Structure 1
Amino acid sequence: MKNAVVLAAGLHAAAAAAQTACSSILVPSYSAPVVASGWQAQLVAGGLTKPRSIAFDSTGALLVVESGKGISRHRFTDNGGTCLSANHSHMLVELTTLNHGLALSSDGATLYASSAEAVFAWTYDAKTASTSGRTRMLVANMSNSDLVTRTLLMSQHQDGTLLVSRGSSDEHEAQSESMTSGLSQIRAFDVGNRSAFATPYNFATDGRLLGWGLRNSVGVGEHPITGGVYAVENSADGVTRNGKDVHENNPGEELNFFGYLNGTVTANQGGNFGYPHCFAVWDASEIPDNDGLAIGKQFARQENATLRDETCASDYIPPRLTFPAHYAPIDIKFAPAGDTAYITFRGSFDRTTPVGYRLSTLSFDPPTGAPVADPSSATALTDVLTNADNTVCPDKCFRPVGLALDASGRVWMTSDSTGEIYVLQRTGKGGEGVFVQPAGKGAGGGSGGGTGEKSGADGRGVGYWGVVVAGLVAGLVVF
């Protein structure tokens, strides 16, 4: 009985502390997101201007590209779990042409960001929260219409190597057929010892070509154990096959593999992945003349004497995995153990029934650095955070974009359309998912949807307090 009283007192004290710590919880203007079982999520920042890519500096501050504005820097009061609140924000770089890409050098002393035309660099001091010196242009000649994001990834396995992804110009997609156009490609550049006054690299002719025939590989990631390079591909909209509209469920979005930067495996490196002629199959039943077509294969947009499905199979590199059409993958980040990749899906705009709009995970085998799922799998993704009702999207829902993992293993995610930042954390195996909201607001339910959990005094669901109780018993919960 004494132990029960002590436990109850401890639980009451913990609840009071948590309520105080999370007294200023933000509430989305739309229906609360649905959180998967074993996860907790909280909205921790709002009012940003189209937040895209994010990264943590060496002091733990969060850097955010605000499209059309520049790079902002944010500090948070951290009360444990997802209980965080912004306590300081300021513009670090004011440059309105910046629109997506962000990276830091391995030592954290150089900051990189991108516009539609170029990659820029600044000397950065995380302790003084400031940049110094001139704005340097490292890579140029990337302007085109339509697909204007230039994703940046600083390799953690090849020091000083910066990966840059450039999409197609949909208005002139035939230009992507030429390698020299620089369109629809991912390239790697040596920026580690680049002089501050060196002539910028020309994207179309310089650097190491990792892959081409890629319509828009917005998310690029590097496996933390093996160094394997992966990218998630936004495939084309409005596609026809032999003159028939197949755009509702095809082509599928893609996960592609580009080998290793150290040159040990380069089977696919520098190869053509099919665009604008060959596309990933998602729903073969929608495709006319579909003999032999299935997930894991590509179909020819227009079969003729020189291009057929067999040509796609023999002359182009197929996706390592295929995801549902129109999901629009934007970022991919790996957990440090290499067993999980997180992928944001910003969602559709060219489909009768909206799809996507979610954060999902993908299982990897750490020693090999390869996805666990077979290339023919239609169920490789596991959803973590989804919208309660996709039919109101894209206007009244979150649209996830950038990802970053902090030192505590929490997942940070931007929503550009709503100007928000979310934080998610695993709460353990099983139990309802919890969306943290103030008292009186219904928390989001688990992955099965529904009306949500019954909330405690601070807006946390009972599933959360079950974890708290278990932690108190084990002596592991710290507020």
Structure 2
Amino acid sequence: MRPFPLVAATTALFDLAAAQSSDTSASCSQTLGSDHPAPQVADGYTARLVANGLTTPRGIQFDHAGNLLVVERGGGVTALAFHNTDDDCVTVSDRKTVIDDASLNHGIAISADGSTLYASNPEAVYSWDYDAETRSNTSEPRVLVTNMTNSDHTTRTLLLSKHAPGMLVVTRGSTSNIDALASDLSTGHSQIKAFNLTNVTNGPYDFNTKGVLLGWGLRNDVGVDEEPLTGAVYSVENSVDEMTREGQDIHADNPGEELNFLGYLNGTASDNQGRNFGYPECYAAWDVDAIPDFQGSVGEQFAIGELNATVNDTSCDAAHRQAPRLTFQAHMAPLSILFNDAGTAAWVTFHGSWDREDPVGYKLAVIEFQDGEPVEPSTSRTAARDVVWNADNSVCPAQCFRPVGLAWDREGRLFMSSDATGEIYAVTRVDGNTTSSAGSNATGTVPEASGSSGSSSSGSASTASTSTMPDSMPESVANEGSMSALAVVFAAVAFFL
């Protein structure tokens, strides 16, 4: 029996465990609750709940005073003022209605000088004079683009180009799952166009007949952003549901969702710009083995339905249709894409599936970029690396977050809306570096590939706090450290006994 060394060692090791666990005492002053499990987060990141009680929050955008403007579907535009504490916690200090208009449903943008607010409904794009200091619109709405009404896909995402100032990009989806009208360029269905706001002199633009065509045959490309170094315009597409081919149901894993490169607005020439991207005749392969009579690779396009002399994969090849730059698991429903200023990463929200027995999506992912394009090849199945996701997709969408909009604040933190839960999250780095620094010039900031094509996880992870988690040590890391210390204690006890 050697009780004295045992007591000394045990006391010292319990002190170590207590020291390691005490860092969790640093927490946000306001704890927000949620009726769904906290999301999982990749190592090195935290996801903190900073606002709740919103009505279907969709598009989000920071104004020049640091207020977060939120499109609440069925309500209008709300401004959230935040309070930041010394431990980098974020809490909402005030909410104010900026635009009271129940028709607004998704799109939002702010002019470069911060004095003009843009928002959209299924029919039109509007602008208002805006004062960020008072969080107020100071004019009646002006109609900029119109004649976009169609059923089914009714969001009109807005993007103000930085490489071509004055150009406003507007997305428009299809009127049904498989919309035959999208084959006719004159209908304006399933297209992305840009409009010159410096030349709106003769009334609003008609979407069907005016504007610079960036691409058509784009079923429902909700997310769109401009790569900051080159000005390349990228969109993310929600592809078709309930697909069959040659009489076989292949919809569980085909066709894939898409990342599309649409060219440039800054004068740089691109063969992609204005091309037909396939819909409604051609679709990107995800699970190639599940597609009857298909000899192509991931990302290559194939024809839908019953194949014949006029409907076949030849009509979907590169000479006839533009394939996506990347392809994702079917039915994950990408809704936003947002680049960091360095052009090293594009962040994508995957809203989540409804048309699949095993749900997929319901997560935030990051895609590594370099020199204006993704690092991974077009055949990759692991280019989108999960950062925030739901631990159990089987309870989705009723009991999980569903991400939609993305926005950077002035500190390089990534804010994300969840429409189904009425929440806003802030995604930050544990090491104190900005979330916006992720990518090819910052080793370790892009999670490793999970190896699972439609996975809801990316290797080891922590559980996000609802708002009590300090950036210096996420809850899971603190617990892991404490348990490691306790493990040493029990090992020591065993040794001395």
Normalising by structure 1, we get a TM-score of 0.86
Match of 1:179 in 2: 185
- Which amino acid in the other structure matches residue 425 of structure 2? Y
Contact 2:41/2:464 (8 A) holds in 1: no
Matches of 1:165 and 1:218 in 2, distance apart? 7
Residues 66-75 or 170-179, more deviating:
170-179
Match of 1:123 in 2: 129
Residues 234-243 or 166-175, more deviating:
166-175
Q: CA deviation at 1:266?
A: 2.2
Match of 1:266 in 2: 270
- Which amino acid in the other structure matches residue 252 of structure 1? G
- Which of the numbers 396, 400, 404 marks the counterpart of 2:403? 400
Match of 1:296 in 2: 299
Which ranges in structure 2 are unaligned for 5 or more consecutive residues?
1-15, 432-442, 448-456, 482-497
SS state of the match for residue 31, structure 1?
A: coil
1:327 lines up with 2:341 in the alignment: no
Matches of 1:296 and 1:456 in 2, distance apart? 42
**CA offsets, 1:436-477, max 9 Å, x none?**
xxxxxxxxx985358899x9998952636999xxxxxxxxxx
Which ranges in structure 1 are unaligned for 5 or more consecutive residues?
1-7, 434-444, 468-479
SS state of the match for residue 194, structure 2?
A: strand
Match of 1:448 in 2: 460
1:68 lines up with 2:74 in the alignment: yes
Q: CA deviation at 1:383?
A: 0.5
- Which amino acid in the other structure matches residue 399 of structure 1? R
What pairs with 1:26-425 in structure 2 (closer than 5 Å)?
A: 26-79=32-85, 83-170=89-176, 173-195=179-201, 198-290=202-294, 292-302=295-305, 303-313=307-317, 314-365=319-370, 368-425=371-428
Alpha-carbon RMSD across the aligned residues, in angstroms, is 2.6
Q: CA deviation at 1:404?
A: 0.3
Matches of 1:176 and 1:78 in 2, distance apart? 47
Aligned length: 437
SS state of the match for residue 285, structure 1?
A: helix
Residues 24-33 or 105-114, more deviating:
24-33
**CA offsets, 1:160-185, max 9 Å, x none?**
10000000011670000000000000
Matches of 2:220 and 2:177 in 1, distance apart? 14
Distance 1:456 1:301, change over 3 A: closer
SS state of the match for residue 141, structure 2?
A: strand
Contact 2:462/2:474 (8 A) holds in 1: no
SS state of the match for residue 218, structure 1?
A: strand
- Which amino acid in the other structure matches residue 168 of structure 1? S
Matches of 2:404 and 2:458 in 1, distance apart? 22
Distance 1:289 1:98, change over 3 A: same
Matches of 1:352 and 1:241 in 2, distance apart? 19
Q: CA deviation at 1:261?
A: 0.4
- Which amino acid in the other structure matches residue 167 of structure 1? G
Matches of 1:176 and 1:410 in 2, distance apart? 38
Report runs of 4+ in structure 1 exceeding 4 Å deviation.
14-17, 449-453, 455-460, 464-467
Distance 1:35 1:447, change over 3 A: farther
Q: CA deviation at 1:28?
A: 2.1
Residues 243-252 or 165-174, more deviating:
165-174
Matches of 2:44 and 2:444 in 1, distance apart? 5
Q: CA deviation at 1:52?
A: 0.3
- Which amino acid in the other structure matches residue 184 of structure 1? S
Contact 1:34/1:446 (8 A) holds in 2: no
Contact 1:252/1:326 (8 A) holds in 2: yes
Contact 1:145/1:171 (8 A) holds in 2: no
SS state of the match for residue 425, structure 1?
A: strand
Distance 1:363 1:172, change over 3 A: closer
1:461 lines up with 2:497 in the alignment: no
**CA offsets, 1:406-426, max 9 Å, x none?**
111111000000000000111
Residues 294-303 or 137-146, more deviating:
294-303
SS state of the match for residue 221, structure 2?
A: coil
Contact 1:64/1:71 (8 A) holds in 2: yes
- Which amino acid in the other structure matches residue 388 of structure 1? A
Identity of aligned residues (%): 49
- Which amino acid in the other structure matches residue 374 of structure 2? P
SS state of the match for residue 248, structure 1?
A: coil
Contact 1:328/1:347 (8 A) holds in 2: yes
Distance 1:168 1:82, change over 3 A: farther
Distance 1:233 1:92, change over 3 A: same
Normalising by structure 2, we get a TM-score of 0.83
Matches of 2:410 and 2:419 in 1, distance apart? 24
Matches of 1:457 and 1:206 in 2, distance apart? 50
Q: CA deviation at 1:105?
A: 1.1
Contact 2:172/2:189 (8 A) holds in 1: yes
Matches of 1:145 and 1:136 in 2, distance apart? 24
Q: CA deviation at 1:199?
A: 1.1
Contact 1:146/1:170 (8 A) holds in 2: yes
- Which amino acid in the other structure matches residue 370 of structure 1? E
Match of 1:471 in 2: none
Contact 1:82/1:424 (8 A) holds in 2: no
Matches of 2:408 and 2:240 in 1, distance apart? 30
SS state of the match for residue 140, structure 2?
A: strand
- Which amino acid in the other structure matches residue 105 of structure 1? S
Q: CA deviation at 1:285?
A: 1.3
Matches of 1:253 and 1:425 in 2, distance apart? 27
Q: CA deviation at 1:249?
A: 0.3
Matches of 1:201 and 1:80 in 2, distance apart? 48
Contact 1:41/1:82 (8 A) holds in 2: no
Distance 1:171 1:274, change over 3 A: closer
SS state of the match for residue 157, structure 2?
A: strand
Q: CA deviation at 1:16?
A: 9.6
- Which amino acid in the other structure matches residue 94 of structure 1? D
Match of 1:470 in 2: none
SS state of the match for residue 179, structure 2?
A: helix
Contact 2:404/2:417 (8 A) holds in 1: yes
**CA offsets, 1:14-48, max 9 Å, x none?**
969943xx121213211110010110111010000
Contact 1:34/1:447 (8 A) holds in 2: no
Matches of 1:95 and 1:380 in 2, distance apart? 39
Contact 2:40/2:463 (8 A) holds in 1: no
Contact 2:350/2:363 (8 A) holds in 1: yes
Matches of 1:84 and 1:125 in 2, distance apart? 23
Contact 2:148/2:207 (8 A) holds in 1: yes
